[in-house]
Amino acid sequence: MMKKGIDEDWTKRVFACIQCGKCTGSCPESAKTPLNIRMVVRRKQFGSVSASQHVWYCTSCGACTIRCPRDVKPSEVLIHIRSDLVESGRISTSIQRALENSLIQKNPWGKARSKRSEWALKADFQIKNIGDLREKRLLFTCCVEAYDPRCNVIPRNVSKILTYAGIEFGILMEEEICCGNEIRRLGEKGLFEELRDENISNFKKYGIEEIIALSPHCYNAIKNEYGEEAPGVVHYTEILWRLLKEGIIRVGREYKKKVVYHDPCFLGKQNGIFEEPRNILMAIAGTELLEFTRSRENSLCCEGGGGRMFYDVDLEYERNAKSRVSEAQELGAEVIGVACPFCLVTLEEEAKEKGIEVKDISEIITEVLL
Amino acid sequence: MNILVFLKRVASSQEEELKILGEGEAVDLSRLPFKLNDWDNYALEEAIRAVEKEGGHVIAISLGAKESDDVLRRAIAMGAGEGILILGEEALFDPRLRAIVASRFIKKEGFNFDAIFTGVQAEDDQFGTFGGYLAGILELPYVSMVVAIEEWGKGYVLVRRELEGGLMEKVKVSLPSVLSIQTGINEPRYVSVMGIRRASQIERKIYESSLYMEGVISSIEVLKWSYPPKKEGAKILPYDIDGACRELLQILKERGVCQ
Amino acid sequence: MSYGLIMADVRRGLFDERNLDLVGFCNVLNIDPWLILPKGAYNVREAYFKRIIQVEMGEEEFINPLNAVITVKKVIEKFGDPFALIFSASSSGMEIAPYVAGYLKSPIITDVSGYQKESGTLLKSLYSDKVFASLKIKGEGFFVITVRSGSFRHEAREIEENTIYEKLEGLTRDERRRFLGYIEEEKQEVDITKADFLLSIGRGVGTKDEIPLYEELASLLGATISGSRPVIDKKWLPKSRQVGTSGKTVKPKVYLAMGISGAFQHVSGMKDSECIIAVNKDPEAPIFQYAHYGIIADMHKIRDRLIQILREK
Ligand SMILES: Cc1cc2nc3c(=O)[nH]c(=O)nc-3n(C[C@H](O)[C@H](O)[C@H](O)COP(=O)(O)OP(=O)(O)OC[C@H]3O[C@@H](n4cnc5c(N)ncnc54)[C@H](O)[C@@H]3O)c2cc1C
């Protein structure tokens, strides 16, 4: 069965490659790691079967695929090579752990499935089970947000705002599982299908009509890789902006800070959502919105995605998060605003050193809401 | 070389707080996912590596409910040639009974084997008895906590077994024998979901465990389940530096890591 | 009075402290502790035992499970059935006990850590100590158990009468399993996942210049040094020493965390350690939620004082 957006006909595309090198030129991992995406495609043209472990350096930011003039989709070619490694069983233990955890506990960290909705129990207001609702609007949390205490605030904040705005929504509680976005990118196709099918069957079971995704990664998977059976999906920044624009929620307090917005790859360059997060920030009195030199389509990847979160990189090299934070500092930013839990944790780790805050947009807006 | 590997499907409980039902009647496993016992995964990988090197055949055997078929399919995907389910749960909890069932099964079905591998213990009950008990009944030589197989010789195998504090023992045992395998002996290969799907096409034989239970019953019974004494967060040692340091050293001593 | 047959836990000429747990177990059950022991000069606390049977076998032969069967059968032949066959839950006991039990088809319970008199049940941990089961042994005949170290030691009592000494001779050997020698773990590349005791340093260490003093502390304590990612990122410690989701997962006996806040990615890599001790100046640091013991103090002051105490020793 062919699913919308998943490219099954990739071998043909490989031969369309003219080795122009735009992919490598745009790759945030080239030069500093052994990954050379142009060579990855080249070797496939020669039918080379020996897959190199270098492919694990890819962050799935998608820059190569966007830049490619021949529509080769190098980032997809790379996933197929990862697949060969996965099927052969020869993968590093840290990736293996993430995949096995996702099979058993349905999240890459192997956290208890029964604790998936603990973040909701810690909220000081009630968050409903989707089964108890009339309007079938689902809030879908990312594994990072469900389990990392640092990121728990994102689903809690967004829930609070939605509740306040009178928008009915519910969650899947323990039935929610990993969306599979990174799993597909790690090359574990069968596992991705399993996760997708279980999610879709839950969506059907509860008659879900609309999904609000909190993470751009889940948003991407459901929108582009779940096929026709998935309900419509929006990213939470789209809803927040609509609520602000329509005056349903109002900013009451000032947020007197210089905020530089970092575009998450799966929200921005891969799915074209650039304006909503910026509009939200600009709607806040006192906030001065700054821009990175590399922003929007050219935004520099934080290196959290595509399974890099789980790859035990032996190599020592400068993280993109570090140069990102340095630039923010040069710009005079006090806060780096993000709209993705992966970006939040990767950037924050570096930012702590420099005394810059990293905040999810939902955190900023919650602070200033009337 | 033919190796029989025994596999157990267990509840994945590492991240869970387990609930006891009623007045200590049972442990609630209903919300837990299940998986292959970690130790058995290493045993299976070691057996597959052995036949990859020496030639032969791995037969994966699991005693348990019908869902244990999961671990057999996984084993086949990993490289086992055959999967066999001894169906039935009555024998599961008693280390004696389950080893008797397994030994009768092996004898009755007339398996030809050079070695039997088991994991050192199961994550759930942690009896750590299956391999040893089985070897005892079958009157075969036995080595437990094997951390390296150094050489398969003619009629013997050279292994290392793990003792305390980084010490190991080198042992030579004649074949056929039973080895219980310790985690860390190898790095088990990854088994993909598609690999498991393909393995499903290979038939797994099923035998009823009741066939091997005649005249024996469980020799142990659980009267009550209970929780361990509750842990109340960190115990904070005194605020003054000297007192805290001395208490710290005392704890290290009790834990046996520092003289 | 019936007797409990204790198979001595011995290794390289040492009579382990753990044997006292086996004595304590007999005392709790009110049965006479009998000890079987290989040849050799062991530092046995003889007054604890009603009878000591020395077997004409060397230590390595004695702890070979195949020979243990021969020994046990002979003792039973000579003295009749014991009430229980008792081993310690150590690398020897865990190997011999099930083998002997299987040979004799006796009931077995391992890793016993308690006894309830009223119900006559034995306490055993399951699921990594998350729950305990009170177990009753059914049927006739003796049973086999292994006893958890530390659980009955305090119950061990010396006996009032004199100890009886016996020798057991004329035993055959089972040649199908042979001891070839001991191997110490090679200490080349440090593998933090194998260490029993980790001293782990976090960003709280402040500067690179402080590291050598922590290395000195580690060597005085006999600990292996590891760290959180920020410390590794700054190259203050090599990458192989990183604990956490993008580093190694460790389960040492003791994990001493100094200046580590306890972030999710770090905790995932060490939370299963047997004992976690945290030193942090911030009483609110999340690491204290995972630690068994905590010290709220400046890590450098703790380090300096520890070095001082250890040097004085
Ligand atoms: C994808 C990804 C993977 C990651 N993988 C890992 C990983 O594998 N391992 C890992 O460790 N981290 C990892 N991290 C980073 C993790 O999120 C944290 O940033 C990191 O663990 C923090 O390290 P820390 O506790 O040493 O530093 P901090 O969080 O900065 O904590 C320092 C602590 O030291 C205390 N302190 C300061 N001075 C003193 C003093 N003088 N005396 C006593 N205490 C003091 C402070 O109170 C504070 O609690 C990862 C992050 C990401 C995004």
Q: Are residues C8 and C135 in the same domain?
A: yes
Q: Are residues C249 and C120 in the same domain?
A: no
Q: Amino acid identity, residue A243?
A: L
Q: Nearest CA to A152 among A111, A182, A117?
A: A117
- Mutate: best of A82, A83, A93, A113, partner B, most B CBs <10 A: A113
Q: Which CATH number fits domain A4-87: 1.10.3720.10, 3.40.50.261, 1.10.1060.10, 3.40.30.10?
A: 1.10.1060.10
Q: How far is CA B137 from the centre of its chain?
A: 18
CATH of the domain at C285: 3.40.50.1220
Bridge-based pairing of strands C10-11 and C14-15 is antiparallel
The SS3 of residue C247 is coil
The pair of three-digit structure tokens given for residue B72, joined into one six-digit string: 């057999």
For C37-85, the three-class secondary structure string (H helix, E strand, C coil) is ECCCCCCCCHHHCCEEEEECCCHHHHCCHHHHHHHHHHHHHHHCCCCEE
pLDDT for position A49: 66
Q: Are residues C164 and C76 in the same domain?
A: yes
Cβ–Cβ pairs < 8 A, chains A and C? 29
User: Which letter does DSSP use for residue A206 in this model?
Assistant: T
Q: How far is CA B125 from CA A113, A340, B95, in A?
A: 22, 41, 10
Q: Are residues C140 and C63 in the same domain?
A: yes
Query: Is the CB–ligand 1 distance for residue A346 below 6 Å?
Result: yes
Query: Is the CB–ligand 1 distance for residue C202 below 6 Å?
Result: yes
The SS3 of residue A262 is coil
CATH of the domain at C81: 3.40.50.620
Tell me the pLDDT tens digit for each residue of A40-87.
999 888 877 666 888 999 999 999 999 999 999 999 999 999 999 999
Torsion of CA B175, B176, B180, B183, to 10 degrees: 60
pTM for the model:
0.87
Q: Are residues C116 and C21 in the same domain?
A: yes
Which B-chain residues 174-193 have CB contacts (< 8 A) with chain C?
174, 177
Using the predicted structure, report yes or no on whether residue A20 has a pLDDT greater than 90: yes
Q: Whose Cα sits closest to atom 50 in ligand 1? A: C265
What mean pLDDT do residues A125-133 have? 93
Q: Are residues C75 and C26 in the same domain?
A: yes
User: Which letter does DSSP use for residue A171 in this model?
Assistant: B
| Contacts A188 to B, Cβ<8 Å | 192-193
User: Which letter does DSSP use for residue C242 in this model?
Assistant: B
Chain C residue with Cα closest to A98: C245
Taking the CA of residue B222 and the nearest CA in chain C, the distance in Å comes to 5
Q: Amino acid identity, residue B236?
A: I
Task: Tell which of C129, C152, C168 closes a domain.
Answer: C168
**Cα C274–C278–C279 angle (5° rounding)?**
155
C-alpha–C-alpha distance, residues C144 and C129, integer Å = 21
Query: Is the CB–ligand 1 distance for residue C242 below 6 Å?
Result: yes
Using the predicted structure, report yes or no on whether residue A2 has a pLDDT greater than 50: no
Q: Are residues C99 and C34 in the same domain?
A: yes
For B235-253, the three-class secondary structure string (H helix, E strand, C coil) is EECCCCHHHHHHHHHHHHH
Q: Nearest CA to A202 among A173, A159, A225?
A: A173
What mean pLDDT do residues B210-218 have? 95
Is residue C122 within 8 A of residue C109, CB to CB? The reply is yes
Within chain A, which residue ranges are assigned CATH 1.10.1060.10?
Answer: 4-87
What mean pLDDT do residues B232-237 have? 83
Query: Is the CB–ligand 1 distance for residue C31 below 6 Å?
Result: no
C-alpha–C-alpha distance, residues B248 and B251, integer Å = 5
Q: Amino acid identity, residue B82?
A: E
Q: How far is CA A119 from CA A148, A173, A226, A369, C288, in A?
A: 9, 10, 26, 21, 20
Q: Do C264 and A147 lie within an 8 Å CB cutoff?
A: yes
Identify the band that residue A5 occupies on the pLDDT scale cut at 50, 70 and 90: very low
Q: How far is the CA of C202 from the centre of ligand 1 (A)?
A: 6
Q: Nearest CA to A358 among A328, A332, A318, A319?
A: A328
Torsion of CA A272, A276, A282, A287, to 10 degrees: -90
Q: Are residues C143 and C211 in the same domain?
A: no
For C98-132, the three-class secondary structure string (H helix, E strand, C coil) is HHHHHHHCCCEEEEEEEEECCCCEEEEEECCCCEE
C-alpha–C-alpha distance, residues B86 and B206, integer Å = 6
Q: Are residues C8 and C125 in the same domain?
A: yes
Query: Is the CB–ligand 1 distance for residue C294 below 6 Å?
Result: no
pLDDT for position C133: 97
Q: Do C239 and A149 lie within an 8 Å CB cutoff?
A: no
Q: Are residues C211 and C152 in the same domain?
A: no
Taking the CA of residue B199 and the nearest CA in chain C, the distance in Å comes to 30
pLDDT for position C185: 67
C-alpha–C-alpha distance, residues B106 and B87, integer Å = 14
Which B-chain residues 18-37 have CB contacts (< 8 A) with chain A?
31-33, 35
Q: Do B15 and A111 lie within an 8 Å CB cutoff?
A: yes
Tell me the pLDDT tens digit for each residue of B18-56.
999 999 999 999 999 999 999 999 999 999 999 999 999
Q: How far is CA A223 from CA A91, A162, A220, B70, C223, in A?
A: 29, 21, 5, 32, 51
The pair of three-digit structure tokens given for residue B37, joined into one six-digit string: 């016992």
Is residue C199 within 8 A of residue B258, CB to CB? The reply is no
C-alpha–C-alpha distance, residues B68 and B6, integer Å = 11
Residue B240 CB contacts under 8 Å (≥ 6 apart), including other chains: none
Cis status, amide bond into A28, omega within 30 of 0: no
C-alpha–C-alpha distance, residues A73 and C183, integer Å = 54
Q: Are residues C308 and C199 in the same domain?
A: yes
Taking the CA of residue A355 and the nearest CA in chain B, the distance in Å comes to 30
Q: What is the CA radius of gyration of chain C?
A: 24
C-alpha–C-alpha distance, residues B178 and C103, integer Å = 14
Which B-chain residues 229-258 have CB contacts (< 8 A) with chain C?
231, 233-237, 239, 241-242, 244-246, 248-249, 251-252, 255-258
**Residue C141, exposed/middle/buried by CB under 10 A (0-12, 13-18, 19+)?**
exposed
Among the partner residues B12, B32, B192, nearest to A190 by beta-carbon distance: B192
Q: Are residues C49 and C126 in the same domain?
A: yes
Among the partner residues C138, C253, C292, nearest to B256 by beta-carbon distance: C253
C-alpha–C-alpha distance, residues B13 and C271, integer Å = 14
Tell me the pLDDT tens digit for each residue of A213-271.
999 999 999 999 999 999 999 999 999 999 999 999 999 899 999 999 999 999 999 99
In terms of residue numbers, what domain contains C209?
192-312
C-alpha–C-alpha distance, residues C41 and C165, integer Å = 14
Q: Which residue has the higher pLDDT, B167 or C105?
A: C105
User: Which letter does DSSP use for residue C168 in this model?
Assistant: E
Q: How far is CA A186 from the centre of its chain?
A: 14
Using the predicted structure, report yes or no on whether residue B77 has a pLDDT greater than 70: yes
C-alpha–C-alpha distance, residues A340 and C80, integer Å = 73
Q: Whose Cα sits closest to atom 47 in ligand 1? A: C282
Q: Nearest CA to C58 among C40, C41, C74, C72?
A: C40
Which B-chain residues 48-107 have CB contacts (< 8 A) with chain A?
78
Q: Which helix H or strand E contains A104, and what residues bound it?
A: helix A93-104
| Contacts A105 to B, Cβ<8 Å | 12, 15, 33
Query: Is the CB–ligand 1 distance for residue C24 below 6 Å?
Result: no
Q: Whose Cα sits closest to atom 49 in ligand 1? A: C261
Beta bridge partners of A261: A291, A337
How many distinct structural domains can be found in chain C? 2
Taking the CA of residue B62 and the nearest CA in chain A, the distance in Å comes to 19
Within chain A, which residue ranges are assigned CATH 3.40.50.10700?
Answer: 248-368
pLDDT tens for chain C, 313 residues: list them.
799 999 999 999 999 989 999 999 999 999 999 999 999 999 999 999 999 999 999 999 999 999 999 999 999 999 999 999 999 999 999 999 999 999 999 999 999 999 999 999 999 999 988 899 999 999 889 999 999 988 999 999 999 999 999 999 999 999 999 999 999 866 566 889 889 999 999 999 988 889 999 999 999 999 999 999 889 877 899 888 999 877 888 999 999 999 999 988 899 889 889 999 999 998 888 899 889 999 999 999 999 999 999 998 8
C-alpha–C-alpha distance, residues A105 and A116, integer Å = 10
Cβ–Cβ pairs < 8 A, chains A and B? 54
Helices (H) and strands (E) counted in chain A, each on its own, are: 17, 7
- Is A248-368 assigned to CATH 3.40.50.10700? yes
C173 lies in some domain: no
User: ipTM more than 0.95?
Assistant: no
C-alpha–C-alpha distance, residues A292 and A266, integer Å = 17
Beta bridge partners of C63: none
Q: Do C246 and A314 lie within an 8 Å CB cutoff?
A: no
Q: How far is the CA of A347 from the centre of ligand 1 (A)?
A: 14
Identify the band that residue A1 occupies on the pLDDT scale cut at 50, 70 and 90: very low
- Is A104-241 assigned to CATH 3.40.50? yes
Chain C residue with Cα closest to B231: C292
Chain C residue with Cα closest to B230: C130
